[in-house]
Amino acid sequence: MTDKIEPGKTVPIKPDPSLEPATTPSDQHGPAPFRAQVWHDIAIFFRLLYHFWVGFHFMRKTRRAITIFGSARLAQDHEFCKSAYSVAKSLGAKGFTIITGGGPSIMEAANHGAKDAGANSIGINIQIPHEQHINAFVTRGIKSRYFFVRKVLLCRYSEAFVIYPGGFGTLDEMFELVTLIQTGKMVDRPVILVNRQFWTGLIEWLRRTVHPAGMLSARELDRLRVVDTEAEVLEYLDQRLHKIYDTIPLVK
């Protein structure tokens, strides 16, 4: 039976016991589900600290490094993998450490090139439901539970970034890189996109749609250097890196 309410008269709302969170007699700090969430958040916080600390400790001696990004779904005989191998081998021969996500395809090709050049070949792998194993050409590898921890390790210690074609993961890494540089959260570093045919559609969309709308400046778009060949990658890196020393921190 519904209570009748007279016009202009307020009636206190009666709580429905069935909707109240479960509590215990000893509960002195709020409902049990809330306290459980707090403890869960605290556990995640300390887990993150642990993963960051392990990652920083693992990478602490890394110098003169270049990170190579790209798809994990292409065969080793694909032209992009062959290019990544060649670029990484050339950079390794010049004394650069090569960092990748440590997985298959373009990452594996880059690690392979670095190893064949006798350079440090680092892989920062990720724990995902369908296990992604560290490829056989990584000379120093580590696995991360969290994508954002992995991305910090991939970016923090590098002097430049070479990005091959890829899917959502590669695009996410590319856009986060330029956003961090754009907002001053990361020291400006060369960002090179390899293969004009693959990247031109995206760059043209940014120039013709996003830039005219006032959401990007021409200077911000110029941070993305699109090239085709190994020679162009090495030439641009030579132009940008000859005044950069490994004592300059990547993150401000």
In whole angstroms, give the CA distance from residue 113 to residue 128: 26
Residue among 134, 176, 131, 124 at smallest CA distance from 154 = 124
Q: In this predicted model, what pLDDT tens digit does every residue of 215-226 receive, in sequence order?
A: 999 999 999 999
> What is the model's pLDDT at position 33?
74
- Enumerate residue ranges in the chain where pLDDT < 50: 1-16, 18-27, 245-252
pLDDT tens digits, residue range 29-70? Answer: 556 677 788 889 999 999 999 999 999 999 999 999 999 999
Burial tier of 219 (Cβ tally within 10 Å: 0-12, 13-18, 19+): exposed
Could you tell me the pTM of the whole model? 0.82
Ordered strands of the 121-126 beta sheet: 140-144, 121-126, 97-100, 65-69, 158-163, 191-194, 224-227
Q: What is the CATH number that goes with domain 64-241?
A: 3.40.50.450
Domain layout of the chain by residue ranges:
64-241
pLDDT of amino acid 132: 72
Question: Looking at residue 35, what is its pLDDT?
Answer: 78
The confidence score (pLDDT) of residue 29 equals 52
Specify whether the CB–CB gap between 81 and 93 falls below 8 A.
no
